Amino acid sequence: MNSNNDNDTNVITEIVKLYFNGTYQGDAEQLKRAFHADAHITGILNGEYFDWTLSDFITRVTIIPAPNMQAEKYDKEIIFIDKTKNAALVKARVVVGPYIFIDYIILLKINGRWIIRNKSFSTS
C-alpha cells in the first residue's frame, strides 16, 4: 500500500471516529463534520425499516441523554475498510444500549475531502 493509500485510510478512520464520538457524546457538530449534508441513514431495527436524513438522525442522537452522560461503555470499532480511489466502504460494529449494530458506511472523497455519504445498519 502506498503512502497516499495509507493517508486516505487514516483520514477515513478519523471521519468514522467523528461519527462514533458524535453519537457517543450526542454532539451534532461532530456528526455534521463526518456526514455529507444530504446523507441518509437507513436500516432495520426490531423488524422496522428506518430512513432518516442527516438532520433526522442528529435529532434522534441529541434529544436523548448521550451515552457518555449515562456512563455507557464506549464500544465501537471499525471491522474493515475497503477503498477504491475515491470511494470507500467501512464495516463497523457499534454498541448502543442493548443493541449491537453492524454499520455499512459509504464514504466518498469529494473535492479532496473524505465524507460519509450514507450509512445503513442492522442489528446483529
How many structural domains compose the chain?
Answer: 1
Between the alpha carbon of residue 3 and those of residues 7, 44, 58, 90, the distances in Å are 6, 37, 34, 19
What's the pLDDT score for residue 1?
Answer: 35
Range of the domain at 60: 3-123
E strands, 1-124, where? 35-45, 48-53, 76-84, 87-96, 99-110, 113-123
Question: CATH number of the domain that 42 lies in?
Answer: 3.10.450.50
Strand arrangement, sheet containing 48-53: 48-53, 35-45, 113-123, 99-110, 87-96, 76-84
pLDDT tens across the length of the chain (124 residues): 334 568 999 999 999 999 999 999 999 999 999 999 999 999 999 999 999 999 999 999 999 888 888 888 999 999 999 999 999 999 999 998 899 999 999 999 999 999 999 999 999 8
Residues 119/39, Cβ–Cβ less than 8 Å: yes
